Amino acid sequence: MGLLERLGGKSDEAPAKSEDLAPTVEAAVSRIETGRSAEIEYQELKSRVHNRLFELIDLVKLSTVSEERVREDIAIATRRILDEQHELLTLEERERVVKEIQDEVFGLGPLEPLLADPTVSDILVNGYNSVYVERSGRIEPTITRFKDNAHLMRVIEKIVSNVGRRVDEMNPMVDARLDDGSRVNAIIPPLALDGPSMSIRRFSVDPLTPDDLIASGTLTPQIVELMQAITSCCLNVLISGGTGAGKTTLLNVMSGFIPNNERIVTIEDSAELQLKQDHVVRLETRPANLEGEGRITSRDLVINSLRMRPDRIVVGEVRGGEAFDMLQAMNTGHDGSLTTVHANTGRDALSRIENMCAMAGLDIPQRAIRQQIGSAIEVVIQLERLSDGTRRLTSLSEITGMESEVVTMQEIFRLERHGVEEDGTVLADLVATGIRPRFVEKLRQRGIQLPTDLFDAPI
C-alpha cells in the first residue's frame, strides 16, 4: 500500500523500479516511530524532497524570473527527485507532491509541511540545519532544514515584511505573526552567534473552545462554568503562567464569554487573539522606524484605549509600565478587563505587576501601588505546563484586599498531585479548598447562581 493511499488516495499501479540515488521511501517510513500518523509520514516525505530540491535549483535566481517559469523548473526537479527514489506513488499522487512543493517554495519553504501539520504546536529553528517541533508538549527533532543561512534569512524577512516590520543588524530582534495568527520571534547575528534563529508559536485557525480544554484536562466543567460567571460578572482577571503554559489560549477562551453587545478593545504586541464578538477593536504595537522614531508601545495603546469608550480592555500580555495604566483602567470603571503575565505562582504574578508599575517612571509609594493592585485585580488564575507536557490550571485565587503592607489573596481551587505513572503521565486533580470566595455575592447580585457545592472541599 502506498503512503498516499493511506491518506485516501488510490494506488493501482505497480511501484516503479529505479536505482536508489537517495534514501528510499521505505527507509524514510521505517525511521518514523511506531504509531505516528500517515499524514506526518507524508509531510516528512515532502520535507525530504524539498531538502533535495535545494541542491538542484538556485534559490537566489527565483526572484529574477517569472513565477510560471519557476514553477515549471520546480516541477521538473521534483519529478526527478521522486524518480531517484524507490517509487511508491501513482501518477496522481506524484502530481500532488509536485503541486504542494511548488506552493511551499512560494510560501515559507521548508516550514510549510510543519505549518500544515495540525499536531505541531511550536516550530523552533535553531539554524538553517536544525529545526525542532513540539507535539503534545514534547520537543522532538525534524528532518527539515534550509539550504543555508541566507535561505533562512529570506524566509524570516518575508515573514516580518508582511506585517510591516524589519530585521537587520540594527534591529536584530523582531516579533511578528503569520497570516493564521501564529506568533513569530526571530533573532539574527550578531546577537545569534550560530546563525539566524526563529520560534513560531502555532495557533489553530479555529481557536480552542472550552470543550477542547476540558477534553485535554486543562480545565474541568465546573471551572469553565465558574470562568463564564466571572467574565459575565465583569470581574478583573489576571492570567499567570510560564512560557507555553497556555495563557493566551485561556485568555481567548475567557474572552469568548464576554457578551456580544459589549465594545472590546484588544492590545497586543503581535495580534493573535481570535475573538468572535461583533464589536472588537484590535490594536497592535509598532516598533521604531529606520530613524528610530514612530515607536508605539503597549502603554501608549492602553492610554489611548481609555478614550475609545471600551466596555472591556483585553491586553495580551503586560510586560512593562503599561501595567500601571491597566490598573488605573480597572479602578476607573473598566471592569471585566483581562490580561496575562509571565510568573510561576499567583503571588509572584502580583510581585511582577508591582515591579512593572515601577517601570512607568512615576514617583508613587510602594504601598499606593499595592493598594491599586488589591483594589483592581479580583481573580488570579495560574497555569502550568507539567512534566508530561500537559497544560493544567494549577490555582485559582481571589484577591481580598490589603492587610498592613501586603496584598491578601485566598486560594479557591488548587491542583493536587498524586504522583507520576510509568509512562510519565502526571496524576493530579483540581480540587476546591473549601473557601467560599467573596465575589459570589457579586455574582448573586447579577443574577448568576452557581452550584451550592462548587466550593466544597473533597472529603
Per residue in 338-393, pLDDT (tens digit) is 999 999 999 999 999 999 998 888 888 989 999 999 999 999 999 999 988 889 99
pLDDT at 38: 59
| Residue 131 backbone phi and psi in degrees, to 5 | -130, 125
Distance CA(109)–CA(111), nearest Å, equals 5
Reply yes or no on whether the pLDDT at 153 is more than 80. Answer: yes
Cα–Cα distance, 415 to 430 (Å, whole number): 4
pLDDT, the chain, mean? 84
Share of the chain above pLDDT 70, in %: 87
- Kindly state the average pLDDT of the residues 179-201: 91
Inter-residue contact 316 to 340 (CB < 8 Å): yes
210-445 to CATH, choices 3.40.80.10, 1.10.287.990, 3.40.50.300, 3.40.47.10: 3.40.50.300
State the fold for domain 108-203: Beta-Lactamase (3.30.450)
Strand bridging mode 338-342 / 237-241: parallel
* Length of the chain counted residue by residue: 459
Per-domain residue ranges of the chain: 1-106, 108-203, 210-445
Q: What angle do CA 316, 135, 272 make, to 5 degrees?
A: 20
- What digits encode the pLDDT tens for the residues 236-287? 999 999 988 889 899 999 999 999 999 999 998 877 788 888 899 999 888 7
The pLDDT tens digits for 139-151 are 999 888 887 898 8
Mean pLDDT, residues 90-94: 80
pLDDT of residue 16: 37
Cα dihedral 418→422→424→428 (10° resolution): -20
